[in-house]
């Protein structure tokens, strides 16, 4: 199953990093939580704008995928 050398190396590296880590004892202040919340809200807003801009192309892609789009000659 894992015959690809890149997959084997990736799995080994991730396993090594997961099992041989030490606690960081880091402090996250309230500003960090607000920054993460702003990033999530920004990503949602950006995705909504991108969908709005490209809605016709997205709609045509899915209609063509299921075979209901009209073919133009």
Residue 25 falls inside a structural domain? yes
| pLDDT band, residue 49 (cuts 50/70/90) | very high
Q: How many Å apart are CA 13 and CA 11, to the nearest integer?
A: 6
Residue 72 falls inside a structural domain? no
71 secondary structure, DSSP code: P
The pLDDT value recorded for residue 35 is 94
Residue 51 falls inside a structural domain? yes
Q: Is the per-residue pLDDT at 8 higher than 80?
A: yes
Q: Is 45 helix (H, G, I), strand (E, B) or coil?
A: helix
Q: Is the per-residue pLDDT at 17 higher than 90?
A: no
What is the number of structural domains in the chain?
Answer: 1
Residue 37 falls inside a structural domain? yes
Residue 17 falls inside a structural domain? yes
The residue segments making up the domain with residue 51 are 5-66
The pLDDT value recorded for residue 73 is 44
* Cα dihedral: 63, 66, 67, 72 (round 10): 30
Q: Is the per-residue pLDDT at 36 higher than 90?
A: yes
């Amino acid at each position: 199953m894992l015959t690809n050398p890149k997959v084997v190396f990736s799995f080994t590296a991730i396993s090594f990093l997961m099992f041989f880590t030490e606690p960081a004892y880091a402090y996250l202040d309230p500003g960090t939580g607000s920054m993460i919340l702003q990033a999530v809200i920004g990503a949602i807003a950006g995705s909504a704008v991108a969908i709005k801009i490209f809605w016709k192309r997205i709609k045509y892609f899915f209609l063509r995928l299921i075979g209901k789009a009209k073919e133009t000659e």
